[in-house]
Amino acid sequence: MKKNKKKKQTKYIFVTGGVLSGVGKGITAASMGAILKAKGYHVTMQKCDPYLNVDAGLLNPVEHGECFVTADGVETDLDLGHYERFLDFETSKYSITLSGAIFKELIDKERSGGFKGKTVQLVPHFTNLVQEKIERASANSDIHIVEIGGTIGDYEGLSFVEAIRLFANKVGRKNCLYVSVVYVPWINTSKEFKTKPAQNALKDLRGFGIIPDIVCTRTERPAPKEIQEKIAAFAGIDKDAVVNLPDIKSVYDVPFNVLKSGVLNILNDFIGDDSEPDMNRWEEFSRLRNQEFKRTVRIGLVAKYVGNNDTYMCVTEALKTAAAWNKVNLDLVWINAEELEDSANNEAGKKLQACDGIVVPGGFGARGVEGKIKAASYALDKNVPYLGLCLGMQVACIAAARKGGVKTANSEEFGATEEKKNNVIYIMEGQKGKESTGGTMRLGDYPAKLVKGSRTAKIYDETNVIERHRHRYELNQKFLPEIEKGGIMVSGVSPDGKLVEFIEAPNHLFFQATQAHPEFKSRPLHPHPLFLEFIKACKK
């Protein structure tokens, strides 16, 4: 009998952080992933976070940054967006493991009698379930990278650290690579790097039974070799395994920093393949990102939370990417939607008028929405390129409906409009009563059919498209005559025709909006066509 071909053993890379969080552990991990992918491997990534939240859907975007949505409709945090951008793969519900979700699953099982009278404990029940999640997330991948949120020694992260230590027993130590990213501060007064916090972090990690195979020292400026050697000596690690990753201008240059650091040799040994990664396209993108072009486009981002890049991470990344491939510099101007509300003639209004293009990103709640409607209306009237994303489409429709005669047009979301009958945007079927609950919106990938001959179809070069979603309200098609009168037509609908997914202004330089979030699908090496064409129009 022919023997079944044995499935190739997946290799696991576990990335933990020491000293401080927020020093680029995720980007370092994703950069290693990008390099391995450039060697031709199927690489996937997963984040384990010790929050007690079940998902990121209800987290405040100002505090926690953008809510990223996976193709299968899970609301996660912006790290997964980085993973998708660096590895050019689609994350899923398996790519995020929050303590809250693990506890919920365990407690639900306990309540339904699933443990048959056994005591339920962090070890082994929590740690086993984490390991199951890691195996599930790595199905079919050659290399799976797991980032553990927070820093070593955090009280709440201990069970995850124990789980990844135990994981080596399951799949073999040789199939696991442990990476520790530690921060090494530069003390300006004494003009020296201080390695003690890193040493302590590595000592803690050792105390939990993990001796890392790679230590990445993150520094503000390049650190001399002796710093790495000192850490290696104190931590009992091979000196070539301690590398330096100093700050650089763009996160997209981190893969090159990682390559330069010597990490590739260790990765090669780990996977038993010393072929060169094909970094050509990364190099091309990095060159464009770092180049100063003659032409600059000024894009106004009309938003509720201004100045915080994290809150609109995918939007700003998609714009930067599209600008680079269009060979223009991007001047991103944050415009506070609330400030636009008073009069078009104030500071915010002037800022808006100085822009080559306007983006209204997604958003929730009434605050600043009149300003967003004003921005859409201005773009529509003045032939200024406009890109509306989710709420950005809804406000564009409200603006057009008002122009087309429905003076009190509004959205059901923004409080009681006096004349409820003029809710151009209304709540979707089945959504009533769920307005502030988690995981209940229309989430994830949904297909749309684009109108043949529309500009939207031309931009996508396709009439069947799939985009990610995160919304509760939709366009009420009863108002289409007025909206059309106001200058906007529907250019894409859900396959059953019930939901409007795309709109455009036909006689406009560029006025495109969608109920979806195309920014979630823009990748540095595969920029999104809507963003590319938007920036192209702004160049004119």
- Residues near ligand GLN, by CB under 6 A: 362-364, 390-391, 413, 470-473
Q: Helix-strand-coil percent breakdown of the chain, rounded to 5? A: 40, 20, 35
- Max CA pair span of the chain: 81
Q: Which candidate in 390, 469, 528, 533 is catalytic?
A: 390
Nearer to ligand GLN, 270 or 312 (CB): 312
Nearer to ligand GLN, 85 or 517 (CB): 517
**Residue 469 designated active-site:** no
Rounded to a whole number of angstroms, the minimum distance from the CB of residue 405 to ligand GLN is 24
- What does the chain come to in residues? 540
Residue closest to ligand GLN when measured from CB atoms:
362
**Residue 471 designated active-site:** no
Nearer to ligand GLN, 408 or 431 (CB): 431
Rounded to a whole number of angstroms, the minimum distance from the CB of residue 65 to ligand GLN is 15
* 378 φ/ψ angles, rounded to the nearest 5 degrees: -60, -45
Q: How far apart are CA 382 and CA 360, in angstroms?
A: 16
**Residue 413 designated active-site:** no
Amino acid (one-letter) located at 374: K
For residues 464 and 450, the answer to whether their CB atoms sit within 8 Å is yes
C-alpha angle 502-507-512 in degrees, rounded to nearest 5: 25
Nearer to ligand GLN, 12 or 312 (CB): 312
Q: Which candidate in 125, 471, 517, 528 is catalytic?
A: 517
Nearer to ligand GLN, 277 or 363 (CB): 363
Rounded to a whole number of angstroms, the minimum distance from the CB of residue 89 to ligand GLN is 23
Q: Where are the beta strands (DSSP E) in 198-246?
A: 214-219, 242-246
Query: Residue 527 burial by CB count (10 A; 0-12/13-18/19+): exposed, middle or buried?
Result: buried
Q: How far apart are CA 158 and CA 179, in angstroms?
A: 16
**How many CB atoms neighbour CB 436 within 10 A?**
8
Contacting residues for 280 by C-beta, under 8 A, at least 6 apart: none
Q: Which candidate in 317, 467, 519, 533 is catalytic?
A: 519
Cis ω for the linkage preceding 124 (within 30 of 0): yes
Give which of 436, 439, 409 is closest to 425, Cα–Cα. 409
Two structure tokens written together for 536? 């192209």
Q: How far apart are CA 222 and CA 240, in angstroms?
A: 16
Nearer to ligand GLN, 157 or 371 (CB): 371
**Edge-to-edge strand list for the sheet holding 11-18:** 96-98, 43-49, 143-148, 11-18, 176-183, 214-219, 242-246
Rounded to a whole number of angstroms, the minimum distance from the CB of residue 433 to ligand GLN is 14
Rg (CA), the chain: 25
Rounded to a whole number of angstroms, the minimum distance from the CB of residue 364 to ligand GLN is 4
Q: How far apart are CA 416 and CA 76, in angstroms?
A: 31
Nearer to ligand GLN, 80 or 288 (CB): 80
Rounded to a whole number of angstroms, the minimum distance from the CB of residue 260 to ligand GLN is 39
Rounded to a whole number of angstroms, the minimum distance from the CB of residue 250 to ligand GLN is 27
- Residues taking part in catalysis: 390, 517, 519
